[in-house]
Structure formats: structure tokens, C-alpha cells
Amino acid sequence: MQTAYYIILGFAGLCLGSFFNVLIWRIPRGESTIWPASHCTNCGNKVKPYDNIPVLSYLILGGKCRRCKTQISVVYPLVEILTAAALVAIWELLYIVPLQQPWHQNVVPLLQAVSIMLLIPISVIDIRHYIIPDRFTLPFLAIALAVSFIPGGLPPVQSLLGALAGGGSLFLMGVIGTFVLKKGDAMGMGDVKLMAWLGALWGYKAALIGIAFGALFGSIAGGVMILTRKLNDDHRIPFGPFLGVGTVAAIFAGEPLLAWYLGLFGG
């Protein structure tokens, strides 16, 4: 029975990942996410249902469009697989069981699950385009603040404090960075809004620890990219993915990670 349960969750995650691929392609281009139907971005050929099965269709077609034979990025199946794995893991960690609780006790866990899952398309978009669209951050920031009035989540004051701590601290870092570096904006407002949203949902501790570990992960990745000469000409590194990973780490293992981090400095 448990095996069937995981299979259903995994399949749902693959389908969700397929939809995330639509978001990743269309939202940065200002296109509708529901119309027209899925089609080849090169020849415009409408993708048939049997060619739109997550992962499996990619393998059968050899990663190419059936009509024009244009290569399809391997990112598509990777996003689907990652989303499936994340859905199973998050469902277990947050333990969402709507039938065994009053409905309002599931609102916050469900919103948290959706928020973590959305970090996947947000990260891919940021890596490709160096943007975190407002279509993700602003509605979910508003929703996170609103659900603080529902029993089971953060109290409204703590939710607002989390938003201010997450977004405000990044904004301040950006102002200081811009002043020191004396060029452009050192911190994108998309990152600020992202951390305001996550802070409103999980509180100021998770937001601040998430930013700290996001900066750590980003610094490590940046160092590796410098050593391997993979950094682009303007030395831009998308910060969103690292903030997402850092915040998820803070949510599920914040205290042990913080103790380990402070231990590095003899704290």
C-alpha cells in the first residue's frame, strides 16, 4: 500500500514538473501559461498527448522534436524528476493529512509545500534570465501574510516580522553592496521579494539563517566558477537558487546547521 502511495505521489510530481517547464519557458517571455497548448519552440508543432508524457516521451523521442528533430534541453526531464522527488520528500516531511485534521490545520502546511515546490521553477528562471518574476513572489507574499490569521501558522506580527527580516536584510545588503562596489544594483529586488515571502511564511529565524547559508553556498559556487573559468563576463551569479536551498536547509535542519557553522569559528 505504501509503495502505491509513493508511486502516485511520484507520478503527480512528474506531471507537476511538466507544468513547471511551461512556467519556466513562458513566464519570462510574458506568455500565457495556459494557452496555447504545448508546442515545439522551434517549429511550433503542437505536442501530441503521447509525446507529452513526463520523462518517458523525452526518452522515446531521443530528446528531439518529433517533427523538426530539434534537440530538446535535458533540463526538461531533470525538472520533472526533481519535482517528483521533492514532492515525495516534502509530503513526508510536512506530513500533510487533510482527512485526519480540521481543514484549517492543513492550510499552512499546504502553502509551505507549494512554496518549496515553486522554488524549482523560480531557480531555473533565475539561472537562465537573472530574474525572479513578481508573478511568483508578490501573490505568495500576500497569501503568506493572510494565512497568519488562520490558526496553525505564525501569528500575524511574527509573519510581518519575518517578511521585514527576510526582505529588509537583503535590501540593506544590496544598498551597502552597491555603495561599496559602486556599480549597478548589488542585489536584485526579486531576491528581496522572495525572502520577504519565505520570511512571512516561516519567520525571521528561518529567513536570516536561509540568507546566511544562501550566501555561503553562493560563495562556494562562485569560487568554483572562478577557478573553472565558468563565470560570465559581468561576473553575475543568480542568487535566487542559493537563497532557496539555504532557506530549505534552514527550515528542515536549521539548528544543527547553525551549530555546525558557528563551530567552524569556534562559536
Q: How many CB atoms lie within 10 A of CB 229?
A: 6
- 210 Cβ contact partners less than 8 Å away, ≥ 6 residues apart: 166, 195, 198, 243, 246, 247, 248, 249, 250, 251
How many other CB atoms are there within 10 angstroms of residue 228's CB atom? 8
Provide the sign of the torsion angle of the four alpha carbons 243, 248, 250, 255, taken in this order: negative
* pLDDT given for residue 54 in this prediction: 96
**Closest alpha carbon to 144 in 210, 209, 207:** 207
CB-based burial of residue 240 (10 Å sphere; 0-12 exposed, 13-18 middle, 19+ buried)?
Answer: buried
Residues 162 and 38 in one domain: no
Phi/psi for 265 (5° steps) reads -105, 15
Q: Tell me the one-letter amino acid at 163.
A: A
**Helix H or strand E encompassing 117:** helix 104-129
Do 78 and 195 sit in the same domain of this protein? no
52 secondary structure, DSSP code: -
Instruction: Give me the pLDDT at residue 188, please.
Output: 80
- Within 8 A by CB and 6+ apart from 6, the residues are 88
Give yes or no: residues 233 and 128 share one domain. Answer: yes
Same domain, 153 and 263: yes
Note the pLDDT of residue 101: 64
- Model-wide pTM > 0.85: yes
Query: Tens-digit pLDDT profile for the chain (267 aa)?
Result: 578 888 999 999 999 999 999 999 999 999 999 888 899 988 988 999 999 999 999 999 999 999 999 999 999 999 999 999 999 998 887 755 555 566 677 888 889 999 999 999 999 999 999 999 999 999 999 999 999 998 878 999 999 999 999 999 999 988 887 777 666 666 789 999 999 999 999 999 999 999 999 999 999 988 888 788 776 656 678 999 999 999 999 998 877 777 776 676 654
118 and 35 in one domain?
A: no
Listed residues 94, 126, 156: the one ending a domain: 94
Give the pLDDT of residue 184.
60
Residue 99 lies in a domain: no
- Which of 66, 94, 122 is where one domain is finished? 94
pLDDT of res. 190: 95
User: According to the model, what pLDDT value does residue 66 have?
Assistant: 92
Nearest to 107 by CA among 116, 96, 118, 122: 96
Residue 181, pLDDT score: 66
In a domain, 161, yes or no: yes
- The answer to the question of residue 101 being in a domain is no
Which of 72, 94, 116 terminates a domain? The answer is 94
Please report whether residue 32 resides in a domain. Answer: yes
State how many domains the chain has.
2
Domain boundaries, position 71: 1-94
Which pLDDT value is given to residue 234? 61
Does 81 share its domain with 185? no
Backbone dihedral angles phi then psi of residue 46, each to the nearest 5 degrees: -65, 130
Residues 83 and 161 in one domain: no
Asked if residue 225 belongs to a domain, the reply is yes
| Shared-domain flag, residues 125 and 40 | no
| 52 located within any domain | yes
